[in-house]
């Protein structure tokens, strides 16, 4: 038996790592959206959508650099929920679908990233409770 046989995953650390990768992707998405000519991407090229990515990507990088697993988990749940809502909004044509110019490829990405972020983020509080009750 190995020393890690009974070890539980550290969801706080996993949330920080996920955010450290995801936040720069948000920033890159915003920058590319602003630089690429409209219509050259299968995804939205609306300026408000790109600014949204830049703002939240910057916030995510700041949280990741702070090393706060709690805030990383909160960001992942919150942004993941927003992603899932955007997929839903895009399919129904409700706010912010029109403002953000959401396309079918955006919906797919929002469902995938939204589910990933929420599934990681909801584990962070559970991991904290388990550590404090030992």
Predicted local distance difference test score (pLDDT) of residue 117: 98
The Cα 82–Cα 120 span in angstroms is 15
Q: How far apart are the first and last CA of the chain?
A: 22
Predicted local distance difference test score (pLDDT) of residue 126: 60
Predicted local distance difference test score (pLDDT) of residue 112: 97
What lies within 8 Å, CB to CB, of 58 at 6+ separation is 23, 27
Predicted local distance difference test score (pLDDT) of residue 8: 62
Q: Which two tokens stand for residue 97?
A: 């679908």
CA nearest neighbour of 79 among 50, 46, 119: 119
Predicted local distance difference test score (pLDDT) of residue 67: 95
**Is 18 within 8 Å of 74 (Cβ atoms)?**
no
| Residue-level pLDDT, tens digit, the chain, 134 residues | 445 555 567 999 999 999 999 999 999 999 999 998 877 788 898 999 999 999 999 999 999 999 999 999 999 999 999 999 999 999 999 999 999 999 999 999 999 999 999 999 999 876 554 443 44
Predicted local distance difference test score (pLDDT) of residue 43: 87
Model pTM?
0.86
Q: Which two tokens stand for residue 110?
A: 């929002």
């Amino acid at each position: 038996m190995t020393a890690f046989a009974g070890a539980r995953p550290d969801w706080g650390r996993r949330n920080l790592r996920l955010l450290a990768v995801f936040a720069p992707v948000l920033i890159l998405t915003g920058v590319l959206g602003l630089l690429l000519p409209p219509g050259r991407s299968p995804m939205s090229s609306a300026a408000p959508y790109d600014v949204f990515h830049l703002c939240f990507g910057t916030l995510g990088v700041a949280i990741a650099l702070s090393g706060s697993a709690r805030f990383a988990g909160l960001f992942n749940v919150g942004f993941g929920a927003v992603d899932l809502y955007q997929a839903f909004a895009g399919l129904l044509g409700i706010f912010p679908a029109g403002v953000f110019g959401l396309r079918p490829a955006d919906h797919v990405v929002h469902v995938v990233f939204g589910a990933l972020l929420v599934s990681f983020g909801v584990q962070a509080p559970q991991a904290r409770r388990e550590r404090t009750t030992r």
